[in-house]
Amino acid sequence: MSTNSEYSNGELQTIVAARSLAGKRSCFIGVGRPSTAALLARMVHNPKLVLVYESGTIGAKPYHVPLSIGDGELAETADLVVSVPEMFNYWIGPGRVQVAFLGAAQVDPQANLNSTVIGEYEHPKTRLPGAGGAPEIATGCAEVVVIAPHSTRTFVKQLDFKTTRGERTTRVITDLGVLEPVAGELTLTTLHPDVRVEQVRENTGWDLKIADNVQVSDAPSAQELAALRELVAR
Amino acid sequence: MAQLVSLSKAIAETVHDGMSVALEGFTHLIPFAAGHELLRQGRRELELIRMTPDILYDQMIGVGAARKLVFSYGGNPGVGSLHRFRDAIEHGWPMPIEVEEHSHAGMANRYVAGASKLPFMVMRGYAGTDLPAHTNVKPVVCPFTGEQLMAVPALNPDVSIVHAQEADRDGNVQLWGIPGVQKEAVLAAGASVVTVERIVEQLQPRPGGVVIPGWVIDYVAQAPGGSQPSYALGVTERDNDFYREWDLISRDREQFQEWMTEHGLNSVPTTTPAPA
C-alpha cells in the first residue's frame, strides 16, 4: 500500500483503468469508478473514445462524472439516444461495443461475477441489486475489464451466485494490482507501486497464481493525477 | 382514445388490488406522482414490475403494497442499496415478497414480446449463469440454424404507467431524452396511464422524440414535476441529493415510516373500488 506517496491506491486504480482504454474505439460503462476512469481516458489518452451507458446514451460526453447512468447530461451530450431494447438487441448483443467495464460483489478464479446475493438465493444474507445489464454485456462486448476492491470478501473461490460469465474478461483491475487470465485462471500479472505479492495473496480468497514476471504499474504521471483531480472536483 | 382526467381518477379507474402494474422510466421520467397516488389510494397485493425498482418501488415495497416484484436491477443508482427492497427480501419486512428477476436485456425483450403480442422473444443470454434456475426463461433451438438460444416470456402488465414531458388535448404523448422501455410498456399493457408535465395545443417534433398516439393510451393526466426526484429532460432536473438522502431515510424502518407518513404515503389499505 502506498503510504508516503501523493496519491491514493483508489486514484491509481482509476488511472490504470483509464490507461486500458488507450487505443480503444468504444467502452460500455456503469457508474462510479468505471465512469470516472472512462472520462479520464477521454481527457488524457483517447479523446475520441465512445462512451456507452446502458440507459441508451451512445457517445455521451459528460463534463461531470454522472451519479446515475441516466443523468440528463448523458442524454444531452450523446451522439444518439436509444431505447433499452435497442441498446441490448442492436448494440450490445451483436458486439458493436468493444470494451466493457464491470464491477461486482464477488469475483471467482475464472472471473465469473456475482452481483445477485450473498448467501443462499432463497434466504440471502445480503440481497444485492442483481444482474442489470451485466450478463449480456459480458458476452456481447469483445473485452471485459472488471474493476473491484481487492479483499477476500470480493475475490472468492466459489461464488454464492453466478450472475455473469467471465470468459471474455481480459483484466481485473484492483486497488492492489492487475489480474489477468492465464490458462483460464486469474493470475497476478501487475502490482501497483509499493504493493507486495504477499499482500495481494492475503487479500485473495483462493491460492492465487503469480505470473513469472510480475510487472509494476507506472505511478500516476503529473498529467494523469491533475486531470483526475480536476475531473472529480467539477 | 385517451381521456384527459385527473391523476386520482386515472389511477382509481385502472389500478385495483392484486393487479400486475408496471411503472416504467429508466432512471429518467420515473412516474413518482402516479406511484404515490397509488399509495394514497391504499392499493395492496400488487405485482410490481419495473426494470429498475429505484426509490419509487422501495417506497411501495416498504409500506407493504407489493406481493411480488419483477425486476432486473434493484439498486439506488450510483448510491448503493435499496434498503426497503433488501429488508423485504432478507427479513420479510413488512411482509414477504415474491421475486422474479431477469437481466436488463431479458426484461427489455419481455416488454418487446408483450408489445408485439407474441408469446416470447428470443435472445442470447442467461445461459451459463445461475439465473435460469431461478427465473422464468427456457432454452429454445433456432429452427433455421440449430443455435441454442433463450426464450423470455412476454410481459403483459394489467396496467402500465409512464411519465412524459407533454401531451396534446387528444392525448397524444411525446417524450424525449432517455426513452427506456416506456413505449413497449404502454403497448404491452391491458390498460395504460400516462402522466405529463404539461398539456400543449400541439406537439412540436423534438430530436429523438418518441410519440405515443392517444389512441393506444387509456388515460392521460397532468402531473407537473411528476417524475421528481427523477426528472423530465428539459423540464426538471434529477435530484441527485435526494437519491443520496434516501439512503439515510430508508435505512431505518421507523425513520422510513415517519417519512412516508409525513408525506401522506402510508395510507391504510382501502377496499378496491369496483372496476368501471
pLDDT in tens, A104-122: 999 999 999 999 999 999 9
Q: What is the pLDDT of residue B273?
A: 53
Min CA distance, B164 vs chain A (Å)? 14
Q: Is A139 on the interface with B (CB under 8 A)?
A: yes
Across the A:B interface, residue pairs with CB atoms under 8 Å apart total 164
Beta bridge partners of A51: A27
Identify all chain B residues contacting A76, using CB atoms and an 8 Å cutoff: 177, 233
Min CA distance, B131 vs chain A (Å)? 7
Residues B145 and B232 in one domain: no
Identify all chain B residues contacting A126, using CB atoms and an 8 Å cutoff: 86, 90
Residues B256 and B238 in one domain: yes
Are B27 and A75 inside 8 Å of each other by CB? no
Q: What is the pLDDT of residue A1?
A: 41
Question: Is A37:A230 a contact under the CB 8 Å cutoff?
Answer: no
Q: Where are the beta strands (DSSP E) in chain B?
A: 3-5, 20-23, 46-49, 66-71, 75-76, 80-81, 98-101, 120-123, 138-141, 148-153, 159-168, 173-175, 191-200, 210-212, 219-222
Q: What is the pLDDT of residue A3?
A: 40
Cα A128 from Cα B71, distance rounded (Å): 13
- Note the pLDDT tens digit of each residue in A133-150: 999 999 999 999 999 999
Q: Is residue B271 part of a domain?
A: no
Question: Is B224:B214 a contact under the CB 8 Å cutoff?
Answer: no
Q: How confident is the model at residue A2 (pLDDT cuts 50, 70, 90)?
A: very low
Residues B131 and B186 in one domain: no
Q: Is residue B270 part of a domain?
A: no
Q: What is the pLDDT of residue B270?
A: 63
Q: What is the pLDDT of residue A116?
A: 98
Cα B275 from Cα B233, distance rounded (Å): 35
Q: Is residue B124 part of a domain?
A: yes
Mean pLDDT of chain A: 95
Residues B26 and B55 in one domain: yes
Residues B74 and B206 in one domain: yes
Cα B252 from Cα B248, distance rounded (Å): 8
Q: What is the pLDDT of residue B44?
A: 97
Pick B177's closest partner by Cβ from A54, A68, A72: A72
Q: What is the pLDDT of residue B257?
A: 96
Residues B146 and B163 in one domain: no
Q: How confident is the model at residue A5 (pLDDT cuts 50, 70, 90)?
A: low
Are A135 and B131 inside 8 Å of each other by CB? yes
In B, minimum Cα distance to A65 occurs at B78
Identify all chain B residues contacting A69, using CB atoms and an 8 Å cutoff: 27, 77-78
Q: Is residue B52 part of a domain?
A: yes
Q: How confident is the model at residue B271 (pLDDT cuts 50, 70, 90)?
A: low
CATH number of the domain bearing residue B242 = 3.40.1080.10
Q: What is the pLDDT of residue A4?
A: 42
Residues B8 and B77 in one domain: yes
Lowest mean pLDDT among A65-69, A187-191, B12-16, B161-165: A65-69
- Mean pLDDT, residues A48-75: 93
Pick A85's closest partner by Cβ from B52, B71, B184: B184
Cα A155 from Cα A189, distance rounded (Å): 16
Q: What are the b/e assignments for B241-264, b being 16+ CB within 10 Å?
A: eebeebeebbeeeeebeebbeeee
Min CA distance, B224 vs chain A (Å)? 18
Q: How confident is the model at residue A155 (pLDDT cuts 50, 70, 90)?
A: very high
Residues B74 and B169 in one domain: yes
Identify all chain A residues contacting B240, using CB atoms and an 8 Å cutoff: 67-68, 71
Q: Sketch out chain A's domains with CATH numbers.
A: 9-233 (3.40.1080.10)
Q: What is the pLDDT of residue B105?
A: 98
Q: What is the pLDDT of residue B73?
A: 97
Q: What is the pLDDT of residue A69?
A: 85
Residues B45 and B178 in one domain: yes
- Note the pLDDT tens digit of each residue in B117-131: 999 999 999 999 999
Q: Which residues of A are catalytic?
A: 54
Residues B258 and B188 in one domain: yes
Pick B237's closest partner by Cβ from A72, A128, A130: A72
Question: Is B55:B229 a contact under the CB 8 Å cutoff?
Answer: yes
Domain count, chain B: 2
Q: What is the pLDDT of residue B92?
A: 97
Q: Is residue B272 part of a domain?
A: no
Q: Is residue B267 part of a domain?
A: no
Q: How confident is the model at residue A68 (pLDDT cuts 50, 70, 90)?
A: confident
- Mean pLDDT, residues A203-218: 97
Q: What is the pLDDT of residue A211?
A: 98
Length of chain B: 276
Is pLDDT above 50 for A230? yes
Q: How confident is the model at residue B272 (pLDDT cuts 50, 70, 90)?
A: low
Task: Respond yes or no on whether the N-terminal peptide bond of residue B213 is cis (omega within 30° of 0).
Answer: no
Q: What is the pLDDT of residue A39?
A: 96
Identify all chain B residues contacting A74, using CB atoms and an 8 Å cutoff: 178
- Rounded to 10 degrees, the C-alpha dihedral B24/B25/B31/B35 comes to 40
Are B78 and A68 inside 8 Å of each other by CB? yes
Task: Print the domain residue range for B195.
Answer: 3-110+155-262
Residues B25 and B144 in one domain: no
Is pLDDT above 60 for B274? no
Q: Is A36 on the interface with B (CB under 8 A)?
A: no
Q: Is residue B268 part of a domain?
A: no
Cα B101 from Cα A51, distance rounded (Å): 27
Residues B126 and B8 in one domain: no
Q: Is residue B9 part of a domain?
A: yes
- Note the pLDDT tens digit of each residue in B219-269: 999 999 999 999 999 999 999 999 999 999 999 999 999 999 999 998 777
Q: How confident is the model at residue A154 (pLDDT cuts 50, 70, 90)?
A: very high
